[in-house]
Structure 1
Amino acid sequence: MTATVPPTETSGTPRADGAHEPPAEPSGGRARRWPLDRLTPTDLRVLRLYLFTRLGLWLITYAVAWTAPGGDSKKPAGWLSRWEQWDWVHYRRIAQYGYFDPFPGMDPPHDNRVAFFPGFPLVLRAVHTVVADWTVAGLLVSLVSGAVAVVALARIAGLESPDGARSGQRAAAFLLASPAAVFLAAGYTESLFLAFALPAWLAAKRRHWPLAGLLGAAATTVRISGLFLAAAIAVELLLTLRPSARTGQADPGVLRRLLPLGWCALPAVPAVAYTVYLHERTGDWQAWQHAEERGWYRDFHTPLEAFRNTWRNAFDHLQTTGYAVEFQLELVAMAVGVLLLAMLLFRRRWPEAVYVGLSLWALGTSYWYLSIPRATLLWWPLWTGLARWSLRRRWVGEAYAGVVAPLTVVLAVTFTSGRWTG
């Protein structure tokens, strides 16, 4: 991994939108630096925090393994079995059998494997060639990719704040103590996506457009959110073409500087390729969307309809209490996303607003809200924004530690005990 500007340094001059322009390169240095270089002392502190939080989650899982059986059982549940929950089963089956081969106990009407993009299963299968146990392989993928993600997040926060080191560490801490943080440790896609998406955004902030496009394409192989990232990177590129703040004149090389837009389109290639592949196998150009609709009710509804349906399932006693509280969490997460989007628009952070706005639109126009708490993990402006805010207002960090962090433990227990959905 590599570093551009050590997080202890300031991050250049502030822009009109509240961000900081990257510092000019030294005249005798390299023309362009990679977004990730050797580890800095701040990176090492972030990684230390990351490992401690992983240990904490593993201890929670150990405790759940002993308490989950209940009754008069004298044998704990298997530790690894606590991580074999819900979507993990789909990823493992895709890695083992592909998208269309049958598997033991297959139920064709409920086989919606094609709803999951191939990036994570491909990496899982590759790691499985070395690590025999599928669950251990999945946990290792998330462990390594999560380490890359938190370092990249800390560096992004460092670029956006004059107090780079402290801001970076706090952004990582806020993410790792977030309510849905258990999904960063499980064999799910969040960590792998962030391991590609955050360095891609860091590359875009450093004006390394080819690398941003390539990493963004890798992110799209993991989740559809990679397309939202591509849109944000394109907006970031267009913002570099604005008239100079010093001269008030447009850059004479605008057409030349528009050429990197081709790299910004690269993340669409995996999505198109996957669509073509599914069409060749099913004859359906919308096979992915139809699987989402069958399995998770992700057919289009207006935002008001989606809100009403979620509210009713949360509070009108239509569901069992386990499912009802899940819908309550969805409502809270959506409210956080809307507030974040409003703040980004107010501060004229257009690229980040595009990314969060597209995510909210995709999540908020289904039959009901689903998986929004997990999606908060992918909203890096939320964690960098909290970091900056906590540096100005000490009580923010105290409130987060006292109110939000305990919920992280509750939801980790909920997931590992098999009660996340109902």
Structure 2
Amino acid sequence: MIETTWVHEMKLTRRTGLLAVTSMLVPGGKVWSNDFGASKGFPFGWPAKNERGGQPMPWQDESLNVGNFSGGIETFWPSSMVKAFNAPSALVRGEALPDRLGLRIKELQKKAGKPAVLVIRKGQISYENYEFGRNESMRFLGKSMTKSVLSLLTGIALEKGIIKSLDDSVGKYASRALEKSALSEITLQNALNMSGGANICIPNHCAAPRDDIEKWQWASSGHPVNRLRRTNVDRVLAQWSHGLKYPQGTRYEYNPVDPSLIGLALREATGQSLSNFASDVLWRPMGAEMDGAWLTDSLGREDVDGGFLATLRDWGRLGLLVANGGRANQKQVVAESFILKCRETTGIFDYLAPGKIEGKLLKAGYKNFFHLPIESATWLKFQGAEGQTILADQRTGSVLVVLSASGQEGYNGTYESIFADIVKLG
């Protein structure tokens, strides 16, 4: 028997530009498309169930990624709003990129599945282009770029005294939730560095591909047969029974536990949801143009591992905030000292320096939920699955945002090569 699943088509009407939603039935199991869903009208929704009745995650069918990653996922996954202000910061068009460079980016978008790309130079837009029927009003899922947003919120909480020190244990701020958890002694700093030591690893980062699925994904995102029901991220952390596999602060290992510990600590320390906190201290002060959204578990707790959505321009504002040392609208939104420490990998953090992390793509380093490109000591990088990327240069203030529906060309240095050419323009 062929399994089927309902997915939805998202179309723009010529008259209003609003989204119209219809449904279509897609047969079979995994669907991989070399046209990124164009032949199906860029559907969105859950992929078809497998022969065992299991429900793959929404990004495991590439033909759904354009639709899911540009707001479609918000129609079937619980989320909370990150409210913008009614007076966004100016982000106007400036000098365009040289034709050669602009054409190179546009060709990358069409061939490698990059629906939205933005380049900011000298505080102005030098390139903004949408492909595959996307537009400037759509929110795009950043996947693990979410962790860098979480990092900025941590820096703000530290500056405001909500968090006293990054050397504090997570348990200091979430003592009740982590009372019986082996994770309680992990420090905020080690969690920010993906160095908490929790006994877990994720696919492509270890030889046990089901480790993350069984220890984390089923509990935080739902079992494949019963997706999203009764999910509770805090319960996973509180009942962690897998222990630690190496001393914290000694080794980098990418995982979903460390960011979730930071998210828990911030919620407990601020006494509010991360969405509300982000609205008050980041989104509005930064001058966001439109509301952001944050995917949540069944209890409304934000998915800090990879669930933040924003428009292309607002992702650009986040990159610009980092490139400008935490400043936006003549205000210091995030302490410059925190931004600078994201590239500080001397002393006890030497093991995180570019070129030092074994197996790290492109020999990048890592600190405070930011990737550290080896190409330049003034670059910081937001990075997410399927090629989501923001590169920010603190010397020139240049920013490249790539919102992607496919991992093609996303991890082989193509973005870094393009960004190097952008930075050379000054």
Do they fold alike, i.e. is TM over 0.5?
Answer: no
Which structure is higher in strand share?
Answer: 2
TM-score normalised according to structure 1 size:
0.28
Which of these two proteins has the greater Rg computed from alpha carbons?
Answer: 1
Which structure is higher in helix share?
Answer: 1
